């Protein structure tokens, strides 16, 4: 164990998991049998097995989305993917297999070697799991349940059965169906009535083997009047030889509850990141998605909130950074299904080196929802002539009593800004890094400090050599 990890963990020794020594490895490709085998291996209740199978059948029948990036979606080879891996299998990879540019970025970000190996998919990192468990103990004193999803299903089958798939049914979309069929890992979090968790709860210190699978499934239930801030992800590039990441995240904010879910993800550029995130917000509840997307080949992700009760509020703040060969198709969806509900959407994107960022948003106010207010702001920054930005906002407004604002801007870095900064001693790349960090600042300031610092550093690295 590293000294740093030891310092963080202190004398707490009980959180360690022994490496699971199973050598089970599924063949590539998907079939009903693979789905049943996953469920059996996990010793799941029958209802979950049947749900998986049902989802599998739906996945097979369901067409690909006809939006986002169709050619890229069509190029996914579902038969070449391994749908279930024990974490011990990951140790079979060699550090030498991790691409040099990714190792280099680890070094530049100052990530300790042990963690680099985890991030590179070479080893499972048990140190961080230990930290995760010690945080969990504090939460337990408040009656908060914080488990990985598999354990959640084992220990709290009634709660899981009630809510699992209640926000995002398996039939929601092709990738939600896939996730429901083969999900593994993810977090299960229940916050009891009136409990306010002050510290942001992190899925892992930086990362946690169990929580960051390809098909993780997260379920958070904030009971009446409770408050939680959940943080997942990391700014270091997550290298995966498996090219498909398809997660499902369901949030339930009951009356007067407040959930903030913050994510920063930086996938390596071979990854398809196709994630469904949705929340139910009941009366006077608040749901905030803070969502940062860097890296990947194609990301399609539109955190959404269904405002189900009067006075509920949704906040979606997202940034996307699209570099060479990347397409970030991200945005937000808010459904005003009750009166006097409010929402704010802020989306910022940067495109560079031929990258493409798309904002895709849906704002819906039903005819019966009176007196709703919403503000949507989309800002795009394009750093060169080969990059691209699109905006696809959809508004379905069912009655005239609502107050809606929509602002969109596309800008380029001005020569005057660059000259001004360079006249103060910054190189062109450094100047670009400052401008880009400034552009993302409304997002960055919402993140816990360590994430903000890392994100800024990462963007500065990304700017190096960006100007030809």
Of 54, 1, 90, 72, the closest CA to residue 181 belongs to 54
The distance of closest approach from Cβ of residue 365 to another protein in the complex, given in angstroms and rounded to an integer, is 31
The distance of closest approach from Cβ of residue 421 to another protein in the complex, given in angstroms and rounded to an integer, is 7
End-to-end alpha carbon distance in the chain:
43
The distance of closest approach from Cβ of residue 411 to another protein in the complex, given in angstroms and rounded to an integer, is 10
Nearer to another protein, 224 or 430 (CB): 430
The distance of closest approach from Cβ of residue 441 to another protein in the complex, given in angstroms and rounded to an integer, is 3
Nearer to another protein, 114 or 467 (CB): 467
Nearer to another protein, 64 or 422 (CB): 422
Nearer to another protein, 334 or 432 (CB): 432
What residue ranges bind another protein (CB under 8 A)? 414-417, 419-428, 430, 434-435, 437-442
Of 268, 197, 259, 465, the closest CA to residue 352 belongs to 465
Nearer to another protein, 21 or 423 (CB): 423
The distance of closest approach from Cβ of residue 290 to another protein in the complex, given in angstroms and rounded to an integer, is 16
Structure tokens at 422: 């360079």
The distance of closest approach from Cβ of residue 176 to another protein in the complex, given in angstroms and rounded to an integer, is 35
Measured between alpha carbons, how far is 206 from 451 in angstroms, rounded to an integer? 10
The distance of closest approach from Cβ of residue 46 to another protein in the complex, given in angstroms and rounded to an integer, is 53
Nearer to another protein, 242 or 429 (CB): 429
The distance of closest approach from Cβ of residue 434 to another protein in the complex, given in angstroms and rounded to an integer, is 5
Nearer to another protein, 71 or 425 (CB): 425
Nearer to another protein, 23 or 423 (CB): 423
The distance of closest approach from Cβ of residue 292 to another protein in the complex, given in angstroms and rounded to an integer, is 15
Beta pairing, strands 272-281 & 298-301: parallel
Nearer to another protein, 96 or 416 (CB): 416
Please answer whether residues 205 and 131 qualify as being in contact, where contact means their C-beta atoms are separated by less than 8 angstroms: yes
The distance of closest approach from Cβ of residue 317 to another protein in the complex, given in angstroms and rounded to an integer, is 14
Nearer to another protein, 85 or 453 (CB): 453
Nearer to another protein, 310 or 430 (CB): 430
CA distances from 21 to 88, 378, 453 (A): 6, 48, 37
The distance of closest approach from Cβ of residue 454 to another protein in the complex, given in angstroms and rounded to an integer, is 16
């Amino acid at each position: 164990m590293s000294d740093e990890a030891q310092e963080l963990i202190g004398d707490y020794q009980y959180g360690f998991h022994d490496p699971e020594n199973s050598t089970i490895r599924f063949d590539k490709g998907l079939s009903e049998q693979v789905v049943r085998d996953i469920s059996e291996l996990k010793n799941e209740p029958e209802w979950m097995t049947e749900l998986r199978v049902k989802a599998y059948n739906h996945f097979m029948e369901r067409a690909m989305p006809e939006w986002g990036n169709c050619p890229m979606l069509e190029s996914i080879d579902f038969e070449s993917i391994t749908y279930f891996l024990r974490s011990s299998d990951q140790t079979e990879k060699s550090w030498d297999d991790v691409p040099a540019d990714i190792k280099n970025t680890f070094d530049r970000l100052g990530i300790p070697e042990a963690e680099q190996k985890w991030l590179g998919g070479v080893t499972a990192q048990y140190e961080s799991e230990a930290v995760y468990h010690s945080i969990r103990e504090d939460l337990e004193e408040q009656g908060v349940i914080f488990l990985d999803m598999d354990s959640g299903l084992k220990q709290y089958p009634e709660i899981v059965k009630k809510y699992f798939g209640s926000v995002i049914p398996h039939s929601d979309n092709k990738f939600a169906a896939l996730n429901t069929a083969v999900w593994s890992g993810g977090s299960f979090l229940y916050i009891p009535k009136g409990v306010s968790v002050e510290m942001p709860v992190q899925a892992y210190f930086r990362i946690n083997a169990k929580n960051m699978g390809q098909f993780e499934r997260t379920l958070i239930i904030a009971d009446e009047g409770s408050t939680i801030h959940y943080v997942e992800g990391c700014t270091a590039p997550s290298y995966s030889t498996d090219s498909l990441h398809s997660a499902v995240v369901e949030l339930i904010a009951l009356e007067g509850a407040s959930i903030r879910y913050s994510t920063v993800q930086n996938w390596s550029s071979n990854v398809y990141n196709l994630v469904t995130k949705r929340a139910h917000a009941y009366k006077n509840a608040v749901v905030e998605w803070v969502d940062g997307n860097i890296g990947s080949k194609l990301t399609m992700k539109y955190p959404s909130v269904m405002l189900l009760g009067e006075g509920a509020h949704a906040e979606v703040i997202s940034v996307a950074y699209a570099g060479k060969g990347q397409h970030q198709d991200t945005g937000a969806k808010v459904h005003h299904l009750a009166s006097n509900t409010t929402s704010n959407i802020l989306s910022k994107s940067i495109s560079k080196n031929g990258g493409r960022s798309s904002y895709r948003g849906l704002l819906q106010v039903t005819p019966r929802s009176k007196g709703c207010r919403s503000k949507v702001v989309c800002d795009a920054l394009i750093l060169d002539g080969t990059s691209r930005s699109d905006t696809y906002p959809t508004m379905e407004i069912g009655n005239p009593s609502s107050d809606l604002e929509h602002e969109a801007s596309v800008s380029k870095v001005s020569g005057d800004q660059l000259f001004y900064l360079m006249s103060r001693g910054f190189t062109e790349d450094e100047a670009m890094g400052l401008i880009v960090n400034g552009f993302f600042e409304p997002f960055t300031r919402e993140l816990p400090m360590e994430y903000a610092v890392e994100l800024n550093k990462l963007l500065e690295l990304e700017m190096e050599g960006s100007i030809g």
